[in-house]
A and B are shown apart, each in its own frame.
Chain A
Amino acid sequence: MPRIYFKTADQYVEFAEGDEVNVLRVAIREDVDVPWRCASGNCGTDRLMVEEGAENLDPPRRRERARLGELVDEGYRLACQTYTRGDVTFSWNPDQVGLDDEPGDGDGAGSRTGWAGTG
């Protein structure tokens, strides 16, 4: 069975062969602590770094591209907008907030990726 590895939470979730599943829905259903807020591609709170398995994901559509901008090219996806049909590994910053809510004052916590000191 294909599986999603939520690396930051160290949790695996398996799903049926042939299914395409929404990543945030799976996380909510299985109590994986992925940060999220709007579920509509607006806030960017649920941006995840795709560490492996990008080829198994649906390509990003308009809302996701508009919200993430250049972060798409850096390997980020929005959990609420992303479907997978195969193995994939995600990581994220547990403390990240929405893309418009970050202070962006250079203290690290305000980086657009959400990773302190890496943005």
Chain B
Amino acid sequence: MYTVAGAGDSDLSPAPFNRNNSYNGNNADREHNLKRQEQSMAELMSSSEFRVAMEDAFSGTMAKDASFSRAWAAGKLHKQHFVHWATNHYHYIGPFGDYLGLMYANTPDHARDAKDFLLQNMYEEELSDDRHTDLLIRFAEACGGTREHVQDRNNAMPFAKGMQGWMYYVSGRENFVVSSAALIVGLESQVPSIYRAQYPTLINKYRFSEWEAEFFDLHITSDEIHGERGYQIVLKYADTPELQQRCLHFVREAADMRFAYTKALYQTYVEPDLGPWVEEDEREPALVG
């Protein structure tokens, strides 16, 4: 169960995907009703209640559970699949500095700690060491891709472009607390759980060097801290029931967006090679034996 939507959000629909990578319309209807009930009952939650509600809001649709992530962690993907992943990921997170810049402009001066966090996050993405997109391209090149291929927008799925557009929308148009909930809590805080499962496979199975796979190593740890700071900012500044509810809605929506995007990576690039994704423990014995 999760809580979504604030006043005026009647057009916002709940998650259509469940964690088994399948569409589930009945659940969607049921959750839509729950949303309406909870909306009318909303009160200001305590910090600890609100944190648990945010964690619950994305726990069922985390991108680490999407087919592409599962196949990656299981070592089933080929290097050309990684090139496609890197290309799409570039168009999804490449403008992260832009998103943060829009959020920065929308953050009032009295929330100085939030502004400083956004500025620091921006600096780390772009300038503090290797530019993060350069680390991503380094990985793509280690898989046989090229910088030109990765940077060419024509090579990205519509889902990746949709993800980018959604990020621009949320960062540019929503209250800074809501966009922090969406981009930092809903998306960035998921990253360590995804890459901690994928990184050992890259090193141990595919034999990438730590240098080639540095993009993942860096984000495993830095996004732990960014995610935690994001939680703190949302907990501090979401100080009305309406803001809390809207944050919860956008945490949920962010998780749904990333899940759907990650699932689409599998369907677009991997399924033609390997067939539909089936968990090891769900395969017929003859297939896994």
- Using a CB–CB cutoff of 8 Å, the interface residues on chain A facing chain B are 20, 22, 24-25, 28-29, 36, 38-42, 61-63, 80-81
Q: Are B210 and A42 in contact (CB-based, < 8 A)?
A: no
Q: Which partner residue on chain A sits nearest B210 by CB separation? A: A62
Q: Are A61 and B222 in contact (CB-based, < 8 A)?
A: no
Kindly provide the distance from the CB of A77 to the nearest chain B CB, expressed in whole angstroms. 12
Q: Which residues of A contact B231 (CB under 8 A)?
A: 29
CB-CB under 8 A for A25 and B228, given A40-B128, A62-B210, A63-B214: yes
Q: Are B228 and A41 in contact (CB-based, < 8 A)?
A: no
CB-CB under 8 A for A63 and B228, given A40-B124, A40-B128, A42-B129: no
Q: What are the interface flags for B226-242 relative to A under an 8 Å C-beta threshold, 1 for contact and 0 otherwise?
A: 11110110000000000
Kindly identify which residue among A22, A24, A25, A40 contacts B218, using a CB–CB cutoff of 8 Å: A40
Q: Which residues of B contact A40 (CB under 8 A)?
A: 124, 128-129, 218, 221-222
Q: Answer yes or no: B42 CB below 8 A from chain A CBs.
A: no
Q: Answer yes or no: B211 CB below 8 A from chain A CBs.
A: yes
Q: Are A39 and B217 in contact (CB-based, < 8 A)?
A: no
**Separation of A31 and B236 alpha carbons in the complex (Å):** 14
**Separation of A61 and B221 alpha carbons in the complex (Å):** 11
**Separation of A51 and B108 alpha carbons in the complex (Å):** 43
Q: Which residues of A contact B229 (CB under 8 A)?
A: 28
**Separation of A39 and B222 alpha carbons in the complex (Å):** 5
**Sample of 8 more A-B contacts, CB < 8 Å, known A25-B227, A28-B229:** A28-B225, A29-B231, A36-B225, A39-B222, A40-B124, A40-B128, A80-B222, A80-B224
CB-CB under 8 A for A38 and B217, given A22-B192, A25-B224, A28-B229: no
